[in-house]
Each structure stands twice: as structure tokens, then as C-alpha cells.
């Protein structure tokens, strides 16, 4: 039987295509008037009259709306509903308002929306320091990854475990451009991205409660219980990055109107607030999670991709590409002389090995300690050919590097 890689290739959060012309709004037939009205209200549009029970007139928030006014039917009960929806969608596509673009994104791709605010001291005319936007985006990315990791497993410290599948969960998340004075918004499509949004919603509230308990009583016990809601070292570090250097920060999760509110979650999209006064508790929790997470006994199957030892005999270190048994893509393993010899022979004939040990939390669960019992593992011909091809590529690289070093020595 073929052993398959445990980790999926790492994927990055797909940025919102800034500058893309929104000249292709969804078709009127695909839009629920109630959903459009709910999204307009969420994004700050104001309803200012209209025929009661038939349609409402909506205007955009703040300055820069360009006089845009939308007539949105309250239902499809009237013959002109599709015409009004078509006019409204066309006006949204032509509008320069960021609120119009965000409404169109959520209509085109029904999504739960996650927003981040950082209250930073501003310069002249509201200008912000250059790194401020980068800091906001970095903290948001780390927070989404922490939530994605918590959908895979509940742990105080994930380290390198589950990174591939967790990052793959973010591949369809859209991140909107942050306009001046507006929050950064991520759109998590329903249904695929909903577990991510739900876990983040629950973890943020649990973190807030644990911080309040720490500040009121001095105890850290609440952080232990918060792990079950998705709080981890990765989340507390993301919150630290979000709050550090600000006068306060907020995070809110708003559910897609078309999908409704998930079971067990609050309908309100009120943001969860954090302040610089929370930083000591967050830092203490990060250290606590790192100390408390235990090493894990495992039996790992992996392909040997690198070998090194200081002399012709004795113990040596190998690097394994994990095929099964651990939730990390690679492991570093120190082996005794006999186990090192077996691993070397398996490497030369294109076979993976199986080894017992403990996945050590130090270094992010990338190291196997107490390793023993190395044995080759039989695989089918296709997998063996792939391993041998990888070995040949390594040998070609080694010969090329040695050849260059030899030529350099001759020139000297």
C-alpha cells in the first residue's frame, strides 16, 4: 500500500484584486432583495424613505458617495422588482465607494465577514505611518491561520502541526483593500469558510473572557479552558501583534445574511475589543501555552531526504519528509549508528522508513526525540520511483556543487 504525504501544499490567503473594475455585478435573478438590504445596512448605507412595503431608497455612508442613491425592492412581489435590482446592482458597480465594492463581493460570493480595526495615533490630515498597514495585515493573517489551526485540533500550541491543511483552508478567503479610516475586511465564503469564521468568533470571545478573568483575579486558569474554544499561543500572539503600538484594536465577525447565524453563535456583529492593558495577560498566556503543551509519542513513516554525521561512525542526524504518523511536513531525527545505517540503505534504494519516538514541542514539533526501531517500509513501484527520482535530483545537485567547488579550487 502506498504511503501518502500527510500535509497538503501550503497555500496563501488570496488577496482581493485591488483595482479590478466591478463592472460585472451579479444577475438580478440571483439576488435576494432581503439579503441586499441587510448587506447595505451592515456596510453603513442609510435607508431614507421609499414606498412603504414596496422599496427603500438607500444612500452610501460618509463623503465620496457621488450622489449615488439606490432603489431596492423589499421582495419580488412586484413586476418591476428585477428592474429595480438591476439598476441598483449597476449603480453599485459604478460607485467609487468602498462600501459598494464590499456589498458586491458579499453578493457575488456569499461570505462571513471578518473585520479588524487598529486605533493608531495619526499624523497630519489623518496620515498613518507606513508600517501601520503592514502590521494590520500581518496580524490579521496570523489570526486567520490560528483559527484555521483550531479547526484541525484544539491545542495550546500548534507549532508546525497541521500547517498545510490549515493554510489550505484559507485559499478561498478574500482580503479587501484597507481604505483610510476603514477596517480591513476578509470574506470567508460559505460553506467552505464558515468553520474558520465560527472558530475565530468563539476564540475571540473566549480570549476576551480569559483576559478579563486574569485582570480581575490574577489567575490564568481561564486560559486553560479557552483552549477548547480555539484559543492558542498562535492566537494570543496574533492578538499581541494586532494591539501592540495602538490605543486599542477590535475584531468583528458578521455572518452571511444568505446563510443565517451558525448554531451556538451570537447574531450580533459587535466587535470584540482589546487594549494595550491586555498585553501582559496575552504574553503570559503565550508563554504558558508553550510550556504546557506536551510532547507526543508517535510512529512516523517518512522518506529520508538528508543525512549528516560528524564522522564515519556513531550517531547521525536525518531529515524525514513525513508520509504518515505526524501532522508536520518534515522532521529532524537523531539516530544511533545502526539505525542511521538502516536509514542510509533505505534512502539509497528509494524506500521510506518507519521510526518510533516522541514529537518534541521544542522547535515547533519539528524534532523527533528518543527515536528507535528504524525499519524500511515497502511501497508500490510508483511511489518508489518517485522517491528514487527525488534521490537522483539530490545527487545531481551534489555533483554540480562539488564540481563547481573543484573548479574554483583549480583556479585558485
Q: Which pLDDT tens digit goes with each residue over 360-388?
A: 988 899 999 999 999 999 877 666 666 56
Residues 184, 303, single domain; the answer is no
pLDDT at residue 392, rounded to an integer: 57
pLDDT of residue 126: 57
Q: How far is CA 97 from CA 76, 182, 257, in A?
A: 27, 11, 21
For 323-370, give the DSSP string: EESSSSSEEEEEE-HHHHHHHHHHHHTT--EEEEEEEETTTTS-EEEE
For residue 15, pLDDT over 90 is answered with no
Task: Read off the pLDDT of residues 247-259 as tens digits, 9 standing for 90 and up.
Answer: 999 999 999 998 8
The larger pLDDT score, comparing residue 118 to residue 50, is at 118
User: Cα–Cα distance between 166 and 196 in angstroms, integer?
Assistant: 9
- The burial class, CB within 10 Å (0-12 / 13-18 / 19+), for 253 is buried
Q: In the predicted model, what is the mean pLDDT of residues 218-238?
A: 97
Is the pLDDT reported for residue 391 higher than 80? no
Q: State what percent of residues in the chain have pLDDT above 90.
A: 56
Task: Please give the residue range of the domain that contains residue 73.
Answer: 11-108
Q: How far apart, in Å, are the Cα atoms of 352 and each of 49, 122, 153, 331, 405?
A: 71, 57, 27, 13, 31
Q: For 1, which DSSP code? A: -
Give whichever of 163-167, 264-268, 272-276 has the largest mean pLDDT: 272-276
Q: Is the residue at 357 inside a domain?
A: yes
CB 111 within 8 A of CB 189: yes
* pLDDT digits 0-9 by tens, 311-327: 888 999 999 999 999 99
CB atoms within 10 A of CB 367: 21
Residue 148: closest CA among 103, 183, 198: 198
Q: Are residues 149 and 190 in the same domain?
A: yes
Considering 293, 322, 352, which residue would you say is the last residue of a domain?
Answer: 293
Distance CA 337, CA 314 (A): 5
Chain centre to alpha carbon of residue 265: 20
Considering the domain architecture, whether residues 254 and 139 belong to the same structural domain is answered as: yes
Q: Is 240 contained in some domain?
A: yes
Closest CA to 193 of 223, 166, 220: 166
Of the candidate ranges 12-16, 70-74, 165-169, 261-265, the one whose mean pLDDT is the lowest: 12-16
Please give the average per-residue pLDDT across 81-87, as a whole number: 90
Helix (H) or strand (E) holding 374: strand 367-376
Measured over the CA atoms of residue 354, residue 355, residue 356 and residue 357, the dihedral's sign is negative
- Assigned domain for 1 exists: no
Burial of residue 330, with CB atoms counted within 10 A of its CB: 0-12 exposed, 13-18 middle, 19 or more buried: middle
Into how many domains does the chain fold? 3
345/264 same-domain check: no
Q: Are residues 265 and 369 in the same domain?
A: no
Same domain, 99 and 119: no
Same domain, yes or no, for 243 and 376? no
48, 58 contact by CB (below 8 A):
yes
% of the chain surpassing 70 pLDDT: 80
Residue 276: pLDDT over 50: yes
Whether residue 405 is contained in a domain is answered as: no
Q: Count of CB atoms within 10 A of residue 124's CB?
A: 5
Tell me whether residue 234 is exposed, middle or buried, using C-beta atoms within 10 angstroms of its C-beta: 0 to 12, 13 to 18, 19 or more: buried
**pTM metric for this prediction:** 0.80
The DSSP bridge pattern shows strands 296-308 and 316-324 to be antiparallel
pLDDT mean across residues, the chain: 84
Instruction: Please identify, among 293, 326, 349, the residue that sits at the C-terminal boundary of a domain.
Output: 293
Same domain, 174 and 241: yes
Q: Please tell me whether residues 302 and 384 are part of one structural domain.
A: yes
Judge whether residue 134 has pLDDT over 70. Answer: yes
Of 336, 334, 338, 293, which is closest to residue 317 (Cα–Cα)? 334
Compute the Cα dihedral for 49, 55, 60, 64 and give only its sign. Answer: negative
Same domain membership, residue 313 and residue 282:
no
Q: Which of 293, 311, 339 is the last residue of a domain?
A: 293
Q: Which CATH number does the domain housing residue 381 bear?
A: 2.40.50.590
Amino acid at each position: 500500500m502506498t504511503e501518502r504525504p500527510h500535509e497538503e501544499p501550503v497555500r496563501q490567503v488570496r488577496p482581493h484584486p485591488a483595482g479590478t473594475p466591478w463592472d460585472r455585478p451579479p444577475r438580478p435573478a440571483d439576488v435576494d432583495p432581503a439579503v441586499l438590504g441587510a448587506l447595505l445596512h451592515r456596510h453603513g448605507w442609510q435607508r431614507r424613505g421609499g414606498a412603504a412595503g414596496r422599496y427603500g431608497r438607500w444612500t452610501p455612508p460618509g463623503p465620496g458617495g457621488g450622489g449615488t442613491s439606490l432603489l431596492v425592492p423589499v421582495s419580488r412581489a412586484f413586476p418591476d422588482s428585477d428592474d429595480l435590482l438591476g439598476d441598483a446592482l449597476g449603480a453599485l458597480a459604478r460607485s467609487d465607494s468602498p462600501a459598494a465594492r464590499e456589498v458586491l463581493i458579499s453578493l457575488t460570493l456569499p461570505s462571513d465577514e471578518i473585520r479588524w480595526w487598529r486605533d493608531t495615533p495619526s499624523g497630519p490630515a489623518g496620515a498613518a505611518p507606513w508600517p501601520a498597514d503592514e502590521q494590520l495585515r500581518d496580524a490579521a493573517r496570523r489570526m486567520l491561520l490560528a483559527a484555521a489551526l483550531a479547526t484541525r485540533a484544539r491545542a495550546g500550541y500548534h507549532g508546525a502541526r497541521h500547517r498545510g491543511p490549515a493554510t489550505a483552508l484559507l485559499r478561498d478567503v478574500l482580503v479587501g483593500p484597507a481604505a483610510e479610516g476603514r477596517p480591513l475586511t476578509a470574506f470567508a465564503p460559505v460553506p467552505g469558510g464558515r468553520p474558520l469564521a465560527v472558530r475565530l468568533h468563539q476564540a475571540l470571545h473566549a480570549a476576551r473572557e480569559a483576559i478579563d478573568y486574569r485582570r480581575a483575579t490574577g489567575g490564568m486558569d481561564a486560559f486553560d479552558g479557552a483552549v477548547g474554544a480555539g484559543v492558542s499561543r498562535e492566537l494570543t500572539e496574533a492578538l499581541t501583534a494586532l494591539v501592540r503600538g495602538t490605543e486599542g484594536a477590535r475584531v468583528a465577525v458578521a455572518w452571511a445574511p444568505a446563510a443565517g447565524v451558525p448554531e451556538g453563535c451570537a447574531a450580533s456583529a459587535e466587535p470584540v475589543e482589546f487594549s494595550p492593558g491586555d498585553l501582559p495577560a496575552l504574553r503570559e498566556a503565550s508563554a504558558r501555552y508553550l510550556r504546557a503543551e506536551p510532547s507526543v509519542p508517535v510512529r512516523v513513516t517518512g522518506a529520508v531526504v538528508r543525512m549528516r554525521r560528524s564522522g564515519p561512525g556513531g550517531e547521525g542526524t536525518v531529515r524525514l519528509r513525513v508520509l504518515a504518523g505526524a501532522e508536520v511536513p518534515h522532521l529532524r531525527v537523531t539516530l544511533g549508528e545502526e539505525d542511521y545505517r538502516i536509514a542510509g540503505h533505505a534512502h539509497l534504494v528509494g524506500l521510506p522508513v518507519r521510526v518510533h519516538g516522541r514529537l518534541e514541542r521544542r522547535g515547533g514539533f519539528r524534532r523527533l526525540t528518543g527515536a528507535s526501531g528504524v525499519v524500511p517500509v515497502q511501497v508500490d513501484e510508483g511511489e518508489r520511483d518517485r522517491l528514487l527520482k527525488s534521490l537522483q535530483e539530490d545527487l545531481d545537485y551534489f555533483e554540480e556543487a562539488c564540481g563547481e567547488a573543484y573548479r574554483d579550487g583549480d583556479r585558485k
